[in-house]
Amino acid sequence: MKILIVEDEKDLISGFLTFSEQEKISADVATTYQEASEKVYLYEYDCILLDINLPDASGLQLLEDLQKMDRNNGVIVVSARNSVTDKVKGLNLGADDYLTKPFHLSELSARIQAVIRRRKFDAPNLLCFGSLSIELNERKVVAGESLLNLTKKEYDILLHLIANKNRVITKNALAEYIWGDSIDNTDSFDFLFQHLKNLKKKLRQGQAAIQIRNIYGVGYQIAEI
């Protein structure tokens, strides 16, 4: 799972990052509308935590940008504003949820999970693909009756491929999704290839009726077999 935190208050950013680390969520940060706009153009995010009050523009402008780009990002507006007008405007512009500050991080976690389930899988908690059963809340993957012991990265790669099962995902796009901005500092994809190799091995050992196919010169696609 990968989220974008659009917030300019340092204390809140610190709290969000601590939360994302505890929840094992990959997180990028943008402190201005301009920075957020650049990141959503370059990278894919499962969910965006969006503050309305940004130093260079309203966060609602980013919602309008996402609509024009026809992006399927989940968006939770996180704001100190509690007026009905602001909530209605945000939801009408495509936000999935509206959370008023202050709030408990446990509530934020539940809302993020709910948004991602609705947006990506249209499922309450259990995702089925081929012979795989994936409990999204517990991050548990079962092939038939065998529990697959996946690392966080392997799990994230598997879920991202399933969410895009009708598309071929390039190695660049997959690496950017899993590792975020840090991918810009590397000139090798060996780390990605190793995670994919380990994931494929575990799927074979669990006799999962799915296959991660290498599309030569393009990328990867998951399919049922």
Residue-wise pLDDT for 5-30, tens only, equals 999 999 889 988 988 888 878 899 99
Average pLDDT over residues 65-83: 83
Residue 65 sits in the same domain as residue 106? yes
pLDDT of residue 115 exceeding 90: no
In this prediction, residue 88 carries a pLDDT of: 83
Residue 132 sits in the same domain as residue 112? no
Residue 148 sits in the same domain as residue 191? yes
Task: Give how many domains the chain has, as a whole number.
Answer: 2
| Burial call 193-206: b when 16+ CB within 10 Å, e when fewer | eebbeebbebbeeb
C-alpha 133/C-alpha 206 separation (Å) is: 12
Residue 145 amino acid letter: E
Radius of gyration of the chain (CA): 18
Residue 223 amino acid letter: A
In this prediction, residue 122 carries a pLDDT of: 72
Residue 130 sits in the same domain as residue 114? no
Q: Please state the separation of Cα 100 from the chain's center in Å.
A: 22
Average pLDDT value for the chain: 87
Average pLDDT over residues 139-160: 91
Residue-wise pLDDT for 195-216, tens only, equals 999 999 999 999 999 999 999 8
Two structure tokens written together for 105 = 């991080």
- Strand 219-224 versus strand 210-215 pairing type: antiparallel
147: which residues sit within 8 A by CB, 6+ positions away?
A: 140, 141
Across 34-48, 70-84, 102-116, 121-135, the highest mean pLDDT is recorded for: 34-48
Residue 68 sits in the same domain as residue 179? no
Which of 103, 121, 139 delimits the end of a domain?
Answer: 121
C-alpha 50/C-alpha 135 separation (Å) is: 27
Read off the pTM. Answer: 0.69
Percentage above 70 pLDDT, the chain: 94
Residue 99 sits in the same domain as residue 153? no
Nearest to 107 by CA among 7, 19, 1, 3: 19
C-alpha 173/C-alpha 141 separation (Å) is: 23
Residue 139 sits in the same domain as residue 114? no
Residue 19 sits in the same domain as residue 100? yes
Name the β-bridge partners of 26. Answer: 2
Residue 64 sits in the same domain as residue 138? no
In this prediction, residue 188 carries a pLDDT of: 73
pLDDT of residue 136 exceeding 80: yes
Residue 108 sits in the same domain as residue 28? yes
In this prediction, residue 28 carries a pLDDT of: 93
**Domain CATH number, residue 192:** 1.10.10.10
Average pLDDT over residues 48-65: 92
Residue 101 sits in the same domain as residue 206? no
Q: Is the distance from CB of 12 to CB of 30 less than 8 angstroms?
A: no
C-alpha 7/C-alpha 19 separation (Å) is: 14
Residue-wise pLDDT for 156-179, tens only, equals 899 999 988 888 999 888 888 877
pLDDT of residue 187 exceeding 80: no
Which of 77, 97, 121 delimits the end of a domain?
Answer: 121
Which of 121, 149, 167 delimits the end of a domain?
Answer: 121
**Domain CATH number, residue 49:** 3.40.50.2300
In this prediction, residue 186 carries a pLDDT of: 63
For residue 177, the enclosing domain spans 126-224
